[in-house]
Structure 1
Amino acid sequence: MDILALDLGTSSVRGLVLDADAVPRPGALARRRVHLVTGDDGTGTLDGPAYLACLVECLDELAAGGHLRDVDLVATSAQWHSVLPLAADGTPSGPVLTWLDTRPEPLAGAVGPADPADFHRRTGTWWHRCYWSVRLPWLREHGARNARFTGLAEYVLGALLGEVPMSMSMASGTGLLDLRRLDWDPEACELAGVRPEELLRLAPDGWHGRLNAEYARRWPGLAGARWAPPVGDGAAASVGSGCVDPTRAAVTVGTSAAVRMMQAVPAGAEPPPLPEQLWRYRVDHNHVVTGAAYSSGGNLFAWANRELRLPEGAALEEALRRTAGSVRANPRLGGDRPPGTAPAGSGELRGLSFGTTAVDVLAGLMQGLCRLVADDLALLEGGVGEPMAVVLGGGALTASPWWRAAFADVLAPREVRWQRNPEIGASGAALVALGRLPEAAHIGGIGRTDETASHA
């Protein structure tokens, strides 16, 4: 049995085939870059139909290569927090607002939760621009007055399968889900201006979908495959990093970055106390993930590589090793993720001199992110009462041994290791779909931060 894993990211869409143990099969990967529209006003949007077309192209490529013949299960890792307005006929009536969009704000005169602390405890979130409680009223005020709303994952999967429910994981990322009851939170829905029955139905435990007739004919190898509910990308990355209990924290750096800890919390059980500065979402019906996220990650390097005259490859790594660390940077170029409210354009550089180089600036930005992670990891540890081991992962850390070493230095004296598998989200989503999440604690590929991917 093979597993098709879909990764619905912010900068790209990927499809890859894994074996029954969630290990990627060589050569069975298709990727398409997607165009993220950004602006100085905080815009961060995607085109829904174009995004769907990229996913279809990936599946066409895998089918043409003969990679879909033995697929029995489809697992999906998808970006949290996205929202897409739909017209009455179900077609998009505007772009997809991604997590990166910082424009939404509470409408004039709007009043937030009656008890913000209890709202945070129930939903794991805040009345914040990242969540549907603020986003839906803002979208209506900006032209989506009569729209229905869905998430990006539900839109693209709905096109392939027919109408799909929203998984508990993706629902928790909207900020409208009661994490204990596993149902839409009435107060959060009121803030969003929707009735629970107007939202997507929630996927029951054990739900699976099937391709609709049109796409089953297009990809006969997937005609009988079961499609599991999507998992939020952060939760999937934590599982793929082997961080599935409070002894390990996952630090993931892809386009953005996050530090997260997972705990077993079955439906109906009261989740553990939640520090006021951290969010909490669902992985599935039986687990939660708690942590902090940042709008900056690999996009720091992408910006520096585009705007500064950086060396390339090994020359850049050598130059980073020679930096004096004189530049101090606030890496919040894209603004804050919740609960922070700083807008896009909040990045800062200090300590510049006539001797400062482009590599010094890059190093300052990368080390600035390391310090943000260290502060929030301390909050996570305060909740569990003891230090945690750390597993680094994600494409940006795969690409930079220097950045892995910088994290290890800032997070010392903790044990810091690295997950060499670059497809942690795909592998994690597959393990959740297989119902084998606890086995991820023993996942392969974790080694020293100075090891290369070829040693996996």
Structure 2
Amino acid sequence: MNTLALDLGTSSVRGLVLDADARPLPGALARRRVSLVVHDDGTGTLDGPGYLACLSECLDELAAGGHLRDVSLVATSAQWHSVLPLGADGAPLGPVLTWLDTRPHALPGAAGPADPDDFHQRTGTWWHRCYWSVRLPWLREHTGSRVTRFVGLTEYVLGELLDSAPMSVSQASGTGLLGLRTLDWDAEACTLAGSRAGELPELAPSGWRGRLRAAYARRWPQLTDAPWAGPVGDGAASNVGSGCVGPERVAVTVGTSAAVRLVQRVPAGQELPALPESLWRYRVDRDHVVTGAAYSSGGNLFAWASRELRLPEGAELDAALSRLAPDDLLPANVRFGGDRPPGLAPAGSGELRGLSFGTTAVEILAGLMRGLCDLVADDLAVLESTVDRPVEVVLGGGAVAASPWWRSAFASALAPRPVWHGRDPEVGARGAALVALGRVGDATRLADIGRMDETASPS
């Protein structure tokens, strides 16, 4: 049984076909870059219809290559926190606000939760510009009275493709409006968002499966009978794909952005572990939660440096980095895109210090990369305190997979903890497939990881 896994990311959309153990099939990968609009005022948006077109092109390519013939399930890993206002006809009333957009703010006179700590424990989030409790009132103010309902990018795209596209509990938890224990919209959060009847997406029931609309079934007939599982937030999916599904192992993932996360089994209705004030918590599925911290910078640091600093490429860059010691670098503040919650630093808060006329472009890049490592190390210490035991770390994501030096810098910053690295850059897609297959418990055994100080894989 093969699974078609979709990865709805911020900088690209990908489709790949996996075997029964969620291993990628050779050649069965299609990818399209998407146009993220970023401005110095904090804008971070995507075009919804354009994004759908990119996903459709990926499916066309896989179909043309004969890769969809034996697909019996479709799984999706998708970015959290996005929001898109729709009109009465279901058409977008503007671009999609992504997690990177720092413009939303509380409207004048608005008040936050009555008990911020209790709100944080219930929803795993804060009254913050990243979440719908602040974003929806701001969007109404900027879009006008034409808004009929709000969806995430995932619900918009799947709503166009499928017969129905309710919001999964994983995606709903990223809005900041979901009660993590009850798995229903939180009354106080909805009041803060000013949400009215029918404005929020329907929540997917347990075991929900979607089907292609007739028009798309004709376009991709191999998928006519394939059920579509509820989407998994990309961070949660990456943990599962990295084999980090228990309190003894933490995932550090660096894609476009970066995060450090821990998954625990907490079924719906069960009391949630205490949540430190600096960490967020979302849902993987109805049986697991993921706790952690995230950063607006990751692989986009490398992309910026590569574009602006005329860096050497390939082996030449690797060789230049290898001559630098990870612990003796320029101090840097990597908040180029501002803070992720709960921080409030605006876009444009990045800093480089200690520059001289002898500073090289490679030294600037290394300082930025190490700056992210140090942020992760600080938050990992807080995350580790929630399980009261030493943890192992698995590095994953395309950015660290592509950079041996960055992996070494992370290993240095996170010492003395054992550090593994994932050899598969598509951990999000693999994780979403394992969740859809009901095989979260197999994730550690199936993960393709190796110790930083060893060549053999434990899997």
**TM-score computed with the length of structure 1 as normaliser:** 0.98
CA deviations over 1:207-240 (Å, ceiling 9, x no partner)? 1011111111111100000100000000000000
Residues 280-291 of structure 1 mapped to structure 2, 5 A cutoff: 280-291=281-292
Report the Cα distance in structure 1 between the residues aligned to 2:186 and 2:71, rounded to whole angstroms: 37
1:93 and 1:144 in contact (8 A); partners too: no
2:331 alignment counterpart:
328
Q: Do residues 9 (structure 1) and 5 (structure 2) align?
A: no
Q: CA deviation at 1:7?
A: 0.3
In the alignment of these two chains, the number of paired residues is 456
Report the Cα distance in structure 2 between the residues aligned to 1:192 and 1:124, rounded to whole angstroms: 16
1:85 and 1:144 in contact (8 A); partners too: no
1:36 and 1:45 in contact (8 A); partners too: yes
1:365 alignment counterpart:
368
Residues 52-451 of structure 1 mapped to structure 2, 5 A cutoff: 52-147=52-147, 148-195=149-196, 197-323=198-324, 325-449=328-452
Q: CA deviation at 1:452?
A: 8.7
CA deviations over 1:31-52 (Å, ceiling 9, x no partner)? 0000000000000000000000
1:405 and 1:450 in contact (8 A); partners too: no
Report the Cα distance in structure 1 between the residues aligned to 2:244 and 2:311, rounded to whole angstroms: 34
1:277 to 1:452, Cα distance in 2 relative to 1, 3 A? same
Q: CA deviation at 1:77?
A: 0.1
2:5 and 2:76 in contact (8 A); partners too: yes
Q: Secondary structure at the match of 2:42?
A: coil
2:241 and 2:447 in contact (8 A); partners too: no
Q: Secondary structure at the match of 1:82?
A: coil
Q: Which structure 1 segments of 5+ residues have no match?
A: none
> What letter matches 2:245 in structure 1?
V
1:232 to 1:353, Cα distance in 2 relative to 1, 3 A? same
1:217 to 1:451, Cα distance in 2 relative to 1, 3 A? farther
CA deviations over 1:155-181 (Å, ceiling 9, x no partner)? 000101033110000000000000000
Q: Secondary structure at the match of 1:392?
A: strand
1:139 and 1:145 in contact (8 A); partners too: no
Q: Secondary structure at the match of 2:216?
A: helix
CA deviations over 1:20-39 (Å, ceiling 9, x no partner)? 11000000001000000000
CA deviations over 1:392-427 (Å, ceiling 9, x no partner)? 000000110000000000100000000101110010
Deviates more, 1:408-417 or 1:438-447: 438-447
Q: CA deviation at 1:444?
A: 3.4
> What letter matches 1:28 in structure 2?
A
Report the Cα distance in structure 2 between the residues aligned to 1:338 and 1:146, rounded to whole angstroms: 29
CA deviations over 1:2-24 (Å, ceiling 9, x no partner)? 10000000000000000111000
1:8 and 1:79 in contact (8 A); partners too: yes
> What letter matches 2:412 in structure 1?
D
Q: Secondary structure at the match of 2:347?
A: coil
Q: CA deviation at 1:144?
A: 4.0
> What letter matches 2:365 in structure 1?
L
Report the Cα distance in structure 1 between the residues aligned to 2:453 and 2:7, rounded to whole angstroms: 27
Q: CA deviation at 1:196?
A: 5.8
Report the Cα distance in structure 2 between the residues aligned to 1:71 and 1:227, rounded to whole angstroms: 11
1:42 alignment counterpart:
42
1:190 to 1:47, Cα distance in 2 relative to 1, 3 A? same
